[in-house]
Structure 1
Amino acid sequence: MVKQSILGRISTLAKANINAMLDKAEDPQKMLDQMVRDYTNNIAEAEAAVAQTIGNLRMIEDDYREDQDASRSWGQKALAASQKADDFRSSGDTASADKFDNLAKVAIERQMDAERQMKSAEPTITSQRDIVERLKTGLDQMKVKRQQLVSKRDELTARAKSAHAQSAVADAVKSIDLLDPTSEVNRFEEKVRREEARVRGQQELASSSLDAQFESLEDLGEQTEVEARLAALKAGQSPAQIESSAAEGQNLQLDYAEDETATRAQA
């Protein structure tokens, strides 16, 4: 009964499925800390109870030794009284001999009483010694389980912190994902692309307008040559002379164009 009453109070904690209990906890770390505290307190209570049980055993053992000493002492007194009675009887003093024989009988009765006390205490001492050994073993097992609980708490706490950190990192990476079409960076990039496209469109438009201007200039030059040749014919020049004059003019224009190109290249 003693063993059951001491260790029974912590049997639930000793056999508890820690992971199943943690599933229902809002804050697993706090729950684990509380479990360690409760288990430590239960161990302290068990230690006090075991110490009390050991103390009771030691008291019974002390009483047993006192009965042993009393048995030996009364046995010696009985022997001394018996020897004294024999001495008186040998000397013819029957009254004194009877007196000491009666004292020897009293001593023997006391010795037997002490022996009975010892005999009745022996089963109790044997039982209490067995209980104390079991309690010590149970207490050692409790301490081992407490250490396992502490290690389990530290492991689960570390794993929980690691999982939380990984989740935080994943959230951070997700928030800065440049490929996310809803991100601010992607929208800004799209804005820049539209601006670049607009500039290219303006450049193409400007280039087309410049080409048209040069084409109009070429058309104007050809019309001018037509007018010049017509005027030369009316002035009495032959077609050969007009063609020769036109060729010289084209050569001059080519020379001017080359000079202009060289000048631009140097600039």
Structure 2
Amino acid sequence: MAKQSIFGRVSQLAKANINAMLDSAEDPQKMLDQMVRDYTDNIAEAETAVAQTIGNLRMIEEDYTEDKQASADWGNKALAASGKADEFRASGDTANADKFDSLAKVAIQRQMQSESEAKSAEPSISSQREIVEKLKTGLDAMKSKRHELVSKRDELVARAKSAQAQNQVQEAVKAIDFMDPTSEVSRFEEKIRREEARVRGAAELASSSLDAQFNSLEDLGEQTEIEARLAALKGPKSAPSITTGADE
């Protein structure tokens, strides 16, 4: 019963759909780790059961071989006893002839017993051989499935680590974008540009004011020249008289 139970577990685990189980798992990696442990434990248990079953089979086979050999040996003894009995009977020794015939009968009885035991063991041997082959097949499938599980787990772990590394890189890139030193430089450059623009504006304003002053000077000079020319047109008469002390 225990062997059949183990065989059932071997078959069930070997037929397990790993991908479907992974899809329904909340934490596939933990589930795979647990499955690997379960497979490893069940494989060890199954190996023990298979080894025991093989041992039992070999023991039955040895008993079968011994029964077959015993049957042959008792047949030879029966033949030898019967031949001896014939010799004694041919010589007129009826007593010894009957004695050896009795021995031949005993040997034949033992031969028949050995044959019966060997024959009764044959179905058991056939059944045990079938069970052993099934257990071996199931065990091989289970080992193959365990290898698949380990590969899946290793692949999943590698993918998880890769995803984690990519996430860390993305977070680092986000942090760099958020605290981008070039943006600070850009802001400082913008500040300088505004200051430069202010200086240019002030200079332009100052230049405009200076030009206005020069323009007013030019207007004043022109007015002076006009007055002078007007005075010249009027001649000396229009010139104001200047009284000196000598005239008085």
Q: Distance in 2 between matches of 1:12 and 1:216?
A: 106
What's 2:159 paired with?
159
What's 1:102 paired with?
102
SS of the residue corresponding to residue 116 of structure 2 reads helix
What's 1:24 paired with?
26
What's 1:58 paired with?
58
Q: Distance in 2 between matches of 1:51 and 1:19?
A: 33
What's 1:42 paired with?
42
One-letter amino acid of the counterpart of residue 148, structure 2: Q
**What is the TM-score with the length of structure 2 in the denominator?**
0.81
Structure 2 counterparts to residues 134-145 of structure 1, below 5 A: 134-145=134-145
| C-alpha deviation, 1:204, in angstroms | 1.0
Aligned-residue CA RMSD in angstroms?
2.6
Question: What is the CA deviation profile of residues 30-65 of structure 1, one whole-angstrom value per residue up to 9, with x for unaligned ones?
Answer: 543443233123222212211111111010000011
One-letter amino acid of the counterpart of residue 20, structure 1: D
Q: Size of the alignment, in residue pairs?
A: 232
What's 1:220 paired with?
217
Q: Structure 1 pair 12/192, CA: closer, same or farther in 2 (3 Å)?
A: farther
Structure 2 counterparts to residues 79-118 of structure 1, below 5 A: 79-118=79-118
Question: Which segment is superposed worse, 212-221 or 73-82?
Answer: 212-221
Question: Which segment is superposed worse, 53-62 or 29-38?
Answer: 29-38
SS of the residue corresponding to residue 176 of structure 1 reads helix
Question: What is the CA deviation profile of residues 166-223 of structure 1, one whole-angstrom value per residue up to 9, with x for unaligned ones?
Answer: 322322332333xx6x866546534532442233023112211222112212212321
One-letter amino acid of the counterpart of residue 67, structure 1: D
* Contact persistence 1:3–1:134 (CA under 8 A): no
Stretches of structure 1 lacking an aligned partner (at least 5 in a row): 239-267
Q: Structure 1 pair 105/197, CA: closer, same or farther in 2 (3 Å)?
A: same
* Pick aligned residue for 2:207 from 210, 227, 230: 210
SS of the residue corresponding to residue 214 of structure 2 reads helix
Q: Distance in 1 between matches of 2:92 and 2:11?
A: 76
| C-alpha deviation, 1:121, in angstroms | 0.7
| C-alpha deviation, 1:89, in angstroms | 1.2
Say whether residues 1:174 and 2:163 are aligned partners: no
**What is the TM-score with the length of structure 1 in the denominator?**
0.76
Q: Distance in 1 between matches of 2:7 and 2:192?
A: 80
Say whether residues 1:70 and 2:67 are aligned partners: no
* Contact persistence 2:10–2:138 (CA under 8 A): no
Relative contact order higher in (CA < 8 Å, ≥ 6 apart): 2
Q: Distance in 2 between matches of 1:121 and 1:170?
A: 72
Q: Aligned residues: percent identity? A: 56
